[in-house]
Each structure stands twice: as C-alpha cells, then as structure tokens.
Amino acid sequence: MKRQDFGGYKLEEVIGGGMYTKVYRAHSALARPIYGDTVAIKILYLKGSFRERAKLISQFEREAEIATGLNHPNIVKVYNFGKYHNQYAIIMEYVNGTNLKEMLYQKNKLPLNVLIKILYEAGQGLAHIHKNNIVHKDVKPDNILVSEDLAVVKMTDFGIAKLPGRLWQKDIFPKGGTVTKYGTISYVATEQAQGNANFYSDIYSFGVTIDEVITAKVEVPDEPEKNQEDYFRRIDMRSYRKNTGKQAILCEDLKIPSELKEIIRKATRQEPFLRYQSMDELLLELKKFL
C-alpha cells in the first residue's frame, strides 16, 4: 500500500487486522508528534453493497467511540479516529510485542505464575470495560496484546462490543463472537450465541481464555519433553475430550493447583447464574496465585 499520512503519521508494516480491517504500525518524523513517535493505525477496507458498507462504517465508528472513552493501563488507548484520504482510520496506542494467541503458538513454555500475571492484568482491563457498562463480546487471546518483555498487557478490539441499556445504540452483531476452526475452541457462551450477550458472557469467554492459555503454555516441572510440545499437541486431544463431554475443562489433567481448575470451571459454567457474578469476584480468586 502507498505510504499515506494519517494525522502526521506514515504507515509502515502490517501488524494485525481482520476481514475488513488492517492494523499498521505508523511513525511520525515530527519533532513533537501529538501521540508519540510510534502509533498503531487501524484502517477500514469497505466491501460489499452500499448497505453493507454503511453497516461497516457505523460499527467502525462505534468501536472507536467506545474505546476512546476508556482510560486504563490494561486497555489499548484510542487517541483519535476519522476519515483520512477518503479512508476511515483509528489512531491508537502501539504495543511493541504480539497478541497472546501468537504467544501460545511459540514453543517455549512459561511458569504458571508468569501466565497468571498476564491473565490477571488482562482481567483488570476487562473489569474496567464492564464498569463502563460495556460488554466486549470478543474476549480471546487474539485480543490481548503483550509486550516483548511481558511487562505490558492490554485488552483491545471493540469491533463487536455492546452497550447494554442504551436502546438507541442497537447491537449490530447480536450473535457475534469467535469459534475457532473446526469448533476446536469456542469462546462464545450459550446465551451470546442466542443473541443475548451480557457481562457473564465475557466472564465465560475469559474463563475459556484462562483454560487455553494455561493448557497451551504452562511449563511442566520435571518433564522437559512436555515442555517441547507445540500448541496443537497440547490442545487438540484435550479439546476433543471437552467437546464430547469427557472432561469439563482443557487443563483437567495438568499438574496445576486444583483451586485454579475450580476458578476455570466456575467461570465457564453453562448457566450464567452459576458463574462469577463480576470480574472483580473472579480476579479476587485469581490474585491468590500471583
């Protein structure tokens, strides 16, 4: 793509994106750039009919408006958004690292306490989102950014987020959410799949995320061969057992504290009223492992 100027920033390489968007790293050569030297810029690529394009623009602008109103160390900060050179763009904070899903694919394993710290910080971001009356609806490792030194953890992507109780702001994607290829892992709670997403749905998705991260990435003490297993070897058979009702959670057979397994079980109960009733409640339990 031709390098273009977006609010004083020039696009560099692609660092993420989805079906209709691409996220670029962007740099400013100005002596005093308004948002710092480096930012991330998310650009909307319009496809389909006029009606479909209008829907995409509406959702993109709404995503930006939601994120702009959030200010928390564990949420990617959106600085500005608008139309630049006839393209819709969001200018946001750049995190020098990768998303948590990409980390799971890397072969090296991490100690349990390091993984819990990452998950706890992501959970703090989600708790802040809920306190602002927002349902994220797409909580998963892909939407958790982690810096190279693991010191920075931030929730991102409000593309299908929902604002409960605001009748004039319709949920454009009521059944939106992520089910991975072949149904290996679904982050979508039953009520969300039926079009009734709520805070408990996000808690369910976060519980699935904890389960996946620990199963794929935890370092197994005194068993070096297990620490060489790739993501798919760790996940495939366990997800098959879970999806066929043979075990409740992916990490059921791993040597991790039983109290931690119970946190995951409670967060991922099928019935919303049996789950944690707030992210703060879940985080209080998770904090015991830090």
Residue that has been written with the tokens 């819990």 in this structure? 116
Region for residue 52 given its phi and psi (left: phi exceeds 0; alpha: psi -120 to 50; beta: otherwise)? alpha
Which of the residue ranges 156-160, 206-210, 262-266, 270-274 would you say has the lowest mean pLDDT? Answer: 156-160
- CA–CA separation, 170 and 165 (whole Å): 10
The residue whose two tokens read 């998705």 is 205
Among residues 138, 142, 202, 211, the one annotated as catalytic is 138
Query: How many alpha carbons lie under 13 Å from residue 62 in its C-beta half-sphere?
Result: 19
**pLDDT: which is higher, 49 or 4:** 49
Q: Is the pLDDT of residue 47 over 90?
A: no
Q: CA-based angle 270:144:258, to the nearest 5? A: 50
Which structural domains are found in the chain, ordered by start? Answer: 5-93 (3.30.200.20), 97-289 (1.10.510.10)
According to DSSP, the β-strands at 97-99 and 87-93 are unpaired
What pLDDT shows up at residue 186? 92
Residue 138 annotated to the active site: yes
For residue 170, the model assigns a pLDDT of 61
27: β partners: 10, 38
Amino acid identity of residue 13, one-letter, is: E
pTM of the model: 0.92
pLDDT digits (tens, 9 = 90+) for 83-133: 887 889 999 999 999 999 999 999 999 999 999 999 999 999 999 999 999
pLDDT tier, 182 (very low <50, low <70, confident <90, very high otherwise): low
| Residue 290 pLDDT level (bands cut at 50, 70, 90) | confident
Whole-number pLDDT of residue 178? 67
Query: How far is the C-alpha of 32 from the C-alpha of 41, rounded, in Å?
Result: 18
